[in-house]
Amino acid sequence: MTNSLNIAKFGGTSVATYEAMENCARIVVANKATRIVVVSAQAGVTNHLVSMAHTPLTSEQIETTCQAIVDIERAVLDKLADKDSVAGKLDDLFDELRGLAFHEEILHRDDLKDQLLSMGERMSSLLFSAVLAEQSVPTLNFDVRKVLRTDDVYGEAAPQLEDIATLATRLLRPEIERAIVVTQGFVGADSQGKTTTLGRGGSDFTAALLAEALDGDTCEIWTDVTGVYTTDPRIVSAAYPLPELSFEEAAEMATFGAKVLHPATMEPALRKDIKVFVGSSKAPEKGGTWIMRNCEHEPPYRAITRRKEQVMVTVKTPKMMYAQGFLQQVFAIIAKHKLSVDLVTTSEISVSFTLDNPANSVAQRLNKATLAELETICDVTVEHGFDLVTVVGNHMQTAKGVSSKIFAAVHDYNLRMICFGANPHNMSFLVNHQNSDDIVQKLHRELFE
């Protein structure tokens, strides 16, 4: 066994089938430093769970949805050489799944919703540990809730770093000495032991948090693309993988919509200087992207990201010219309701800001209570139908000609808001949703092709 420690995370498509899991198992075994494996739910499973947790369903619909999940899990079980060691445990999880789905439908409790959402990872980690064991290595399925302590904001729980470090050192460290530990991404538990979740796509964050807690050297994010690309290859077919990225660039990309990394993934990596690799579990031989503190090159343009479903809120008061505390009041309300604002512009009598409001997010961000409270101090207008396009790079505010090249590329389009100058790594525009594919494509052509 080497002394270095790697944490490998496999996303939903990487563990979608038995064969996909076999690819992942080979990747795990090939790197002797890998002692912890973090898995997502199998592709589609969390979406099924979210639909049960967040939409009113009939008993029949719940049954059908549970069955769809069971079918995905059973397809893997059926291919295991030694089904018996897992079948009983999987059946227990199916019972828990059905029980929770019906229970939640009646009680609508947030803690039950998170318990329900956690089932995907709990099932996939059980199955993956069995697939990994077929590679003749000692494996162990570990319940991440023993160490991944969070607050109790169900649906978007925040990790408690000190507790995680203490618990992981006490409970997880001894296990990795004797086996490769397979555990769940996305899932945590609060101080009362109730199950929580970290927000959609949160398994990347789990991997980075465990790497931080155990002083890992590297963290691998294995997914369905061969690294982080110049932009989402689903929008631009000419996008290409980047061999290297700095922590800051990757953090900007993740925050501004590069779905390949959960927005918070880079925080632990940056704190502990842990190198992060992103690659394809289907084609590990093709390499991928290394994300690290110091890159060899710091180009002005590195990548373009797009985040959909943005909401623009404009608050306006004729009294603003005189009321110096207005901005402070607006932001106090935003902070109280835990909204995270991205872009802000101000004029003499109004302030506009944008919020991320994706339909499939676990928590509804812009809710009636927030609007009602804002309306007590000003007029509020809410506009939907926007996307946020961001160019990520380096030294952007000090390099000459950076903005003119970007503006030239998008001159045909209406930009509703522009944000530039607050940090050297990005320039963001709020654009109409129907133009955002074109804008990303055009920018990509001008800046990268």
Instruction: Work out how close the CB of 326 gets to ligand ADP at its nearest, in angstroms, rounded to a whole number.
Output: 37
Strand intervals (E) in 268-325: 275-280, 288-292, 303-316
Q: Is residue 260 involved in binding ligand ADP (CB under 6 A)?
A: yes
Q: Is residue 201 involved in binding ligand ASP (CB under 6 A)?
A: yes
Residue 229 contact, options Mg ion, ligand ASP, ligand ADP, none, Cβ 5-8 Å cut-off depending on partner type: ligand ADP
Kindly write out the interface string for residues 42-61 of this chain, putting x where it contacts ligand ASP by CB under 6 A and - elsewhere.
----x---------------
Closest of 208, 204, 328, 194 to residue 259, by C-alpha: 204
Q: Given the complex with ligand ADP, which of 38 and 410 has the nearer CB atom?
A: 38
Instruction: Work out how close the CB of 233 gets to ligand ADP at its nearest, in angstroms, rounded to a whole number.
Output: 6
Question: From the list 199, 201, 263, 284, which residue makes contact with Mg ion (rule: CB under 5 A)?
Answer: 201
Which stretch in 129-137, 226-234, 393-401, 418-426 sits in contact with ligand ADP by CB under 6 A? Answer: 226-234
Supply angle C-alpha 120, 213, 8, rounded to 5. 50
Helix (H, G, I), strand (E, B) or coil at 45: helix
Residue 246 contact, options ligand ASP, ligand ADP, Mg ion, none, Cβ 5-8 Å cut-off depending on partner type: none
- The footprint of ligand ADP on residues 29-48 (CB under 6 A) is 40
Instruction: Quote the CA–CA distance of 419 and 158 in Å, as a whole number.
Output: 27
Question: Is residue 198 within 8 Å of 205, Cβ to Cβ?
Answer: yes
Which stretch in 39-47, 106-114, 136-144, 431-439 sits in contact with ligand ASP by CB under 6 A? Answer: 39-47
> What CA–CA distances, in Å, run from 51 to 58, 116, 180, 282?
12, 11, 33, 29
Which residues fall within 8 angstroms of residue 185, CB to CB, at 6 or more apart?
A: 9, 38, 39, 40, 121, 144, 202, 203, 204, 205, 206, 207
How many other C-beta atoms lie within 10 A of the C-beta of residue 178? Answer: 10
- What is the residue type of 280? S
Question: From the list 114, 232, 248, 356, which residue makes contact with ligand ADP (rule: CB under 6 A)?
Answer: 232
Instruction: Work out how close the CB of 220 gets to ligand ADP at its nearest, in angstroms, rounded to a whole number.
Output: 12
Question: From the list 14, 203, 394, 435, which residue makes contact with ligand ASP (rule: CB under 6 A)?
Answer: 203
CB closest to ligand ADP, residue no? 11
Q: Is residue 258 involved in binding ligand ADP (CB under 6 A)?
A: yes
Count the site residues for ligand ASP by CB under 6 A: 12
What are residue 443's phi and psi, to 5 degrees? Answer: -60, -40
Q: Given the complex with ligand ADP, which of 156 and 232 has the nearer CB atom?
A: 232
Burial of 128 (0-12, 13-18, 19+ CB in 10 A): buried
Kindly write out the interface string for residues 102-141 of this chain, putting x where it contacts ligand ADP by CB under 6 A and - elsewhere.
----------------------------------------
How many other C-beta atoms lie within 10 A of the C-beta of residue 130? Answer: 26
| Token pair of 406 as six digits | 């970007």
Which stretch in 44-52, 97-105, 221-229, 420-428 sits in contact with ligand ADP by CB under 6 A? Answer: 221-229
Instruction: Name beta bridge partners: 98.
Output: none
Count the site residues for ligand ADP by CB under 6 A: 19
Helix (H, G, I), strand (E, B) or coil at 165: helix
Residue 41 contact, options ligand ASP, ligand ADP, Mg ion, none, Cβ 5-8 Å cut-off depending on partner type: ligand ASP
Instruction: Work out how close the CB of 40 gets to ligand ASP at its nearest, in angstroms, rounded to a whole number.
Output: 3
381, HSE (Cβ side, Cα atoms, 13 Å): 7
Q: Given the complex with Mg ion, which of 190 and 204 has the nearer CB atom?
A: 204
Instruction: Quote the CA–CA distance of 33 and 184 in Å, as a whole number.
Output: 19
Helix (H, G, I), strand (E, B) or coil at 197: strand
Which residues fall within 8 angstroms of residue 87, CB to CB, at 6 or more apart?
A: 77
* Residues of this chain that bind Mg ion (CB under 5 A): 11, 201
* Residues of this chain that bind ligand ASP (CB under 6 A): 11-12, 40-41, 46, 120, 185-186, 200-203
* Residues of this chain that bind ligand ADP (CB under 6 A): 11-14, 40, 201, 223-225, 228-229, 231-234, 258-260, 303
